[in-house]
Protein backbone atom coordinates (compact mmCIF):
# COMPACT_ATOMS: atom_id res chain seq x y z
CA UNK A 1 0.00 0.00 0.00
CA UNK A 2 1.16 3.57 -0.71
CA UNK A 3 0.36 5.89 2.17
CA UNK A 4 -1.35 9.19 1.38
CA UNK A 5 -1.69 10.21 5.00
CA UNK A 6 0.36 9.58 8.13
CA UNK A 7 -2.90 9.49 10.06
CA UNK A 8 -3.95 6.21 8.48
CA UNK A 9 -4.30 3.46 11.05
CA UNK A 10 -5.88 0.07 11.50
CA UNK A 11 -8.40 0.15 14.33
CA UNK A 12 -9.25 -2.99 16.26
CA UNK A 13 -12.99 -2.72 16.80
CA UNK A 14 -13.73 -6.25 17.90
CA UNK A 15 -16.98 -5.21 19.55
CA UNK A 16 -18.16 -4.15 16.12
CA UNK A 17 -16.74 -5.82 13.02
CA UNK A 18 -13.05 -6.46 13.67
CA UNK A 19 -10.06 -4.74 12.07
CA UNK A 20 -10.53 -2.31 9.22
CA UNK A 21 -8.87 0.57 7.49
CA UNK A 22 -9.42 4.02 8.99
CA UNK A 23 -8.33 7.12 7.11
CA UNK A 24 -7.26 7.72 3.52
CA UNK A 25 -5.19 5.21 1.61
CA UNK A 26 -4.28 3.95 -1.83
CA UNK A 27 -5.22 0.27 -1.85
CA UNK A 28 -4.33 -2.30 -4.50
CA UNK A 29 -7.50 -3.72 -6.05
CA UNK A 30 -6.76 -6.24 -8.79
CA UNK A 31 -4.19 -4.28 -10.82
CA UNK A 32 -5.36 -0.79 -9.82
CA UNK A 33 -4.40 1.53 -7.00
CA UNK A 34 -7.71 2.87 -5.70
CA UNK A 35 -8.13 5.79 -3.33
CA UNK A 36 -10.23 4.86 -0.30
CA UNK A 37 -11.55 7.19 2.41
CA UNK A 38 -12.99 5.44 5.48
CA UNK A 39 -14.23 7.25 8.58
CA UNK A 40 -16.44 6.89 11.63
CA UNK A 41 -17.18 4.10 14.06
CA UNK A 42 -20.23 2.06 14.82
CA UNK A 43 -21.76 -1.39 14.60
CA UNK A 44 -22.07 -3.27 11.33
CA UNK A 45 -23.00 -2.83 8.60
CA UNK A 46 -20.51 -0.40 7.13
CA UNK A 47 -21.77 2.11 4.56
CA UNK A 48 -20.10 2.12 1.13
CA UNK A 49 -20.67 5.18 -1.08
CA UNK A 50 -20.56 4.69 -4.87
CA UNK A 51 -20.28 7.85 -6.96
CA UNK A 52 -21.92 8.37 -10.34
CA UNK A 53 -20.19 8.57 -13.72
CA UNK A 54 -17.00 10.62 -13.48
CA UNK A 55 -17.66 11.20 -9.78
CA UNK A 56 -15.13 10.92 -6.96
CA UNK A 57 -15.14 10.91 -3.17
CA UNK A 58 -15.88 14.64 -3.29
CA UNK A 59 -19.37 13.77 -4.55
CA UNK A 60 -20.16 12.82 -0.96
CA UNK A 61 -18.63 15.83 0.85
CA UNK A 62 -22.01 16.85 2.28
CA UNK A 63 -22.98 13.30 3.25
CA UNK A 64 -19.98 11.31 4.45
CA UNK A 65 -18.99 13.56 7.42
CA UNK A 66 -22.53 13.42 8.82
CA UNK A 67 -22.85 9.64 8.40
CA UNK A 68 -19.73 9.16 10.57
CA UNK A 69 -21.86 10.20 13.55
CA UNK A 70 -23.75 6.89 13.42
CA UNK A 71 -21.84 4.50 11.15
CA UNK A 72 -18.54 3.56 9.61
CA UNK A 73 -18.57 4.88 6.07
CA UNK A 74 -16.23 4.58 3.09
CA UNK A 75 -16.10 6.39 -0.23
CA UNK A 76 -13.64 5.68 -3.02
CA UNK A 77 -12.43 6.76 -6.45
CA UNK A 78 -12.82 4.27 -9.27
CA UNK A 79 -9.78 3.52 -11.42
CA UNK A 80 -8.87 6.45 -13.64
CA UNK A 81 -10.71 9.00 -11.48
CA UNK A 82 -9.75 11.37 -8.70
CA UNK A 83 -6.77 10.20 -6.67
CA UNK A 84 -6.84 6.62 -7.96
CA UNK A 85 -4.38 5.21 -10.47
CA UNK A 86 -4.99 5.33 -14.22
CA UNK A 87 -6.62 2.81 -16.53
CA UNK A 88 -5.50 1.99 -20.07
CA UNK A 89 -9.00 1.38 -21.41
CA UNK A 90 -12.51 2.04 -20.15
CA UNK A 91 -13.70 -0.54 -17.66
CA UNK A 92 -16.83 -2.64 -17.96
CA UNK A 93 -19.43 -2.69 -15.19
CA UNK A 94 -18.23 -6.15 -14.14
CA UNK A 95 -14.61 -4.97 -13.90
CA UNK A 96 -15.67 -2.03 -11.77
CA UNK A 97 -17.58 -4.34 -9.42
CA UNK A 98 -14.60 -6.73 -9.27
CA UNK A 99 -12.38 -3.82 -8.27
CA UNK A 100 -14.78 -2.76 -5.51
CA UNK A 101 -14.98 -6.27 -4.07
CA UNK A 102 -11.19 -6.61 -4.09
CA UNK A 103 -10.78 -3.13 -2.62
CA UNK A 104 -13.00 -3.87 0.37
CA UNK A 105 -11.28 -7.21 0.96
CA UNK A 106 -7.76 -5.80 0.79
CA UNK A 107 -8.64 -2.81 2.98
CA UNK A 108 -10.14 -5.14 5.59
CA UNK A 109 -13.56 -3.52 5.47
CA UNK A 110 -15.74 -6.39 6.67
CA UNK A 111 -19.16 -7.24 5.30
CA UNK A 112 -22.06 -6.74 5.48
CA UNK A 113 -22.45 -3.41 3.70
CA UNK A 114 -25.16 -0.88 3.09
CA UNK A 115 -24.48 0.35 -0.43
CA UNK A 116 -25.41 3.92 -1.35
CA UNK A 117 -25.06 4.50 -5.09
CA UNK A 118 -25.65 7.67 -7.08
CA UNK A 119 -26.56 7.58 -10.78
CA UNK A 120 -24.61 4.75 -12.45
CA UNK A 121 -23.16 3.99 -9.01
CA UNK A 122 -26.61 2.59 -8.22
CA UNK A 123 -26.34 0.24 -11.18
CA UNK A 124 -22.94 -0.90 -9.87
CA UNK A 125 -24.48 -1.43 -6.43
CA UNK A 126 -27.10 -3.75 -7.89
CA UNK A 127 -24.47 -5.60 -9.93
CA UNK A 128 -22.43 -6.02 -6.72
CA UNK A 129 -25.51 -7.41 -4.96
CA UNK A 130 -26.16 -9.86 -7.78
CA UNK A 131 -22.69 -11.30 -7.30
CA UNK A 132 -22.18 -10.88 -3.56
CA UNK A 133 -25.69 -10.94 -2.10
CA UNK A 134 -24.59 -12.28 1.29
CA UNK A 135 -22.36 -9.21 1.74
CA UNK A 136 -25.16 -6.69 1.19
CA UNK A 137 -27.45 -5.72 4.09
CA UNK A 138 -29.36 -2.87 2.46
CA UNK A 139 -29.25 -0.24 -0.23
CA UNK A 140 -29.91 3.45 -0.88
CA UNK A 141 -30.22 4.38 -4.55
CA UNK A 142 -29.72 8.10 -5.21
CA UNK A 143 -31.34 9.01 -8.54
CA UNK A 144 -29.96 5.75 -9.85
CA UNK A 145 -29.42 4.75 -13.44
CA UNK A 146 -31.63 1.88 -14.57
CA UNK A 147 -30.44 -1.08 -16.62
CA UNK A 148 -33.34 -0.54 -19.07
CA UNK A 149 -32.85 3.19 -19.48
CA UNK A 150 -31.14 3.21 -22.89
CA UNK A 151 -33.95 1.44 -24.69
CA UNK A 152 -36.64 3.12 -22.62
CA UNK A 153 -35.28 6.55 -23.51
CA UNK A 154 -34.88 5.55 -27.16
CA UNK A 155 -38.52 4.54 -27.20
CA UNK A 156 -40.10 7.41 -25.26
CA UNK A 157 -37.60 10.22 -24.67
CA UNK A 158 -34.74 10.11 -27.23
CA UNK A 159 -33.45 13.58 -26.27
CA UNK A 160 -32.27 12.08 -22.98
CA UNK A 161 -29.70 9.99 -24.87
CA UNK A 162 -27.54 12.98 -25.78
CA UNK A 163 -24.94 11.98 -23.18
CA UNK A 164 -24.69 8.49 -24.68
CA UNK A 165 -23.22 9.00 -28.18
CA UNK A 166 -22.83 5.23 -28.63
CA UNK A 167 -26.31 4.34 -27.45
CA UNK A 168 -27.08 2.43 -30.67
CA UNK A 169 -24.09 0.12 -30.05
CA UNK A 170 -25.77 -2.60 -27.99
CA UNK A 171 -22.50 -4.35 -27.16
CA UNK A 172 -20.93 -1.14 -25.85
CA UNK A 173 -23.99 -0.35 -23.76
CA UNK A 174 -24.05 -3.86 -22.31
CA UNK A 175 -20.40 -3.44 -21.27
CA UNK A 176 -21.50 -0.39 -19.30
CA UNK A 177 -24.22 -2.42 -17.58
CA UNK A 178 -27.28 -1.50 -19.65
CA UNK A 179 -29.65 -4.02 -21.19
CA UNK A 180 -30.26 -4.61 -24.89
CA UNK A 181 -33.52 -3.35 -26.42
CA UNK A 182 -36.61 -4.66 -24.63
CA UNK A 183 -34.66 -6.87 -22.22
CA UNK A 184 -35.98 -6.61 -18.69
CA UNK A 185 -34.11 -6.23 -15.42
CA UNK A 186 -34.34 -9.45 -13.39
CA UNK A 187 -32.78 -8.13 -10.16
CA UNK A 188 -34.74 -8.74 -6.98
CA UNK A 189 -33.89 -7.65 -3.47
CA UNK A 190 -35.30 -8.84 -0.14
CA UNK A 191 -33.56 -6.32 2.11
CA UNK A 192 -34.15 -2.69 3.14
CA UNK A 193 -34.14 -0.37 0.14
CA UNK A 194 -34.78 3.34 -0.31
CA UNK A 195 -34.86 4.89 -3.76
CA UNK A 196 -34.46 8.68 -3.98
CA UNK A 197 -35.52 10.39 -7.20
CA UNK A 198 -35.06 14.00 -8.25
CA UNK A 199 -38.04 16.31 -8.46
CA UNK A 200 -36.58 18.96 -10.80
CA UNK A 201 -37.52 18.67 -13.60
CA UNK A 202 -40.46 16.33 -13.64
CA UNK A 203 -39.50 13.42 -15.93
CA UNK A 204 -42.17 10.71 -16.36
CA UNK A 205 -39.87 8.10 -17.95
CA UNK A 206 -37.25 8.53 -15.22
CA UNK A 207 -39.95 8.39 -12.54
CA UNK A 208 -41.28 5.11 -13.94
CA UNK A 209 -37.79 3.59 -13.72
CA UNK A 210 -37.25 4.81 -10.14
CA UNK A 211 -40.65 3.43 -9.16
CA UNK A 212 -39.67 0.11 -10.73
CA UNK A 213 -36.43 -0.02 -8.73
CA UNK A 214 -38.26 0.63 -5.46
CA UNK A 215 -40.69 -2.20 -6.28
CA UNK A 216 -37.84 -4.71 -6.50
CA UNK A 217 -37.83 -5.21 -2.72
CA UNK A 218 -40.81 -5.87 -0.45
CA UNK A 219 -39.04 -3.43 1.87
CA UNK A 220 -38.54 -0.84 -0.88
CA UNK A 221 -39.59 2.78 -0.56
CA UNK A 222 -39.56 5.57 -3.16
CA UNK A 223 -38.93 9.14 -1.97
CA UNK A 224 -39.09 12.21 -4.20
CA UNK A 225 -36.46 14.88 -3.57
CA UNK A 226 -38.72 17.77 -4.51
CA UNK A 227 -36.02 20.46 -4.36
CA UNK A 228 -33.31 18.56 -6.24
CA UNK A 229 -32.11 17.83 -9.73
CA UNK A 230 -29.81 14.85 -10.33
CA UNK A 231 -27.27 15.53 -7.54
CA UNK A 232 -29.56 15.01 -4.56
CA UNK A 233 -26.57 14.42 -2.25
CA UNK A 234 -25.44 18.02 -2.89
CA UNK A 235 -28.83 19.75 -3.00
CA UNK A 236 -30.67 17.84 -0.27
CA UNK A 237 -27.91 16.00 1.61
CA UNK A 238 -30.03 15.60 4.74
CA UNK A 239 -32.45 13.45 2.77
CA UNK A 240 -29.64 11.13 1.70
CA UNK A 241 -28.21 11.03 5.23
CA UNK A 242 -31.57 10.16 6.78
CA UNK A 243 -32.20 7.49 4.14
CA UNK A 244 -28.88 5.87 4.97
CA UNK A 245 -29.72 6.05 8.68
CA UNK A 246 -33.11 4.44 8.07
CA UNK A 247 -31.75 1.58 5.97
CA UNK A 248 -28.99 0.97 8.53
CA UNK A 249 -31.53 0.83 11.35
CA UNK A 250 -33.76 -1.55 9.41
CA UNK A 251 -30.87 -3.82 8.47
CA UNK A 252 -29.60 -3.95 12.04
CA UNK A 253 -33.08 -4.77 13.35
CA UNK A 254 -33.46 -7.63 10.86
CA UNK A 255 -30.23 -9.20 12.16
CA UNK A 256 -31.47 -9.46 15.74
132-150 pLDDT tens trace: 999 999 999 999 999 999 9
Query: What is the torsional sign of CA 75, 80, 86, 91?
Result: positive
List CB contacts of 138: < 8 A, sequence separation 6 or more.
45, 114, 115, 191, 192, 193, 247, 248, 250, 251
Query: CB under 8 Å, gap of 24 or more: what pairs does 65-70 form?
Result: 65/39, 66/237, 66/241, 67/40, 67/241, 67/244, 67/245, 68/39, 68/40, 68/41, 69/40, 70/40, 70/42, 70/245, 70/248
Q: Is residue 102 in some structural domain?
A: yes
Q: Is the pLDDT of residue 12 over 50?
A: no
What residues make up the domain containing 38? 2-147+185-254
The whole-number average pLDDT for the span 212-239 is 98
The whole-number average pLDDT for the span 51-75 is 97
Q: Is the pLDDT of residue 214 over 50?
A: yes
The whole-number average pLDDT for the span 86-96 is 95
Q: Is residue 158 in some structural domain?
A: no
- Please give the distance of CA 51 from its chain centroid, rounded to a whole number: 6
> What is the band of 42 on the pLDDT scale with cuts at 50, 70, 90?
confident
Query: Do residues 113 and 20 lie in contact, with contact meaning Cβ atoms separated by under 8 Å?
Result: no
Q: Could you give the CA distance from residue 151 to residue 156 in angstroms, rounded to a whole number?
A: 9
- Return the pLDDT at 13: 34
Greater confidence, 10 or 100? 100
The whole-number average pLDDT for the span 192-207 is 98
Q: Is residue 170 in some structural domain?
A: no
> What is the band of 4 on the pLDDT scale with cuts at 50, 70, 90?
very low
Q: Is residue 56 in some structural domain?
A: yes
Angle, helices 93-106 vs 120-131, to 10°: value is 70
CATH of the domain at 221: 3.40.50.1820
Q: Is residue 71 in some structural domain?
A: yes
- Return the pLDDT at 17: 54
Amino acid sequence: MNHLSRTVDLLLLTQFCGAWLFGQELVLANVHQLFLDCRGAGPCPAVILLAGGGGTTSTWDKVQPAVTAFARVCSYDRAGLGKSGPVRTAQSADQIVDDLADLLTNAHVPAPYVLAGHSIGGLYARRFDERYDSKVAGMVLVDSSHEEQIWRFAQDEPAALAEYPNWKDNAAMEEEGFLAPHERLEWRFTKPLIVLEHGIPDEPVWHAMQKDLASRSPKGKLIRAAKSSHYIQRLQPDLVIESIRTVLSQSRSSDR
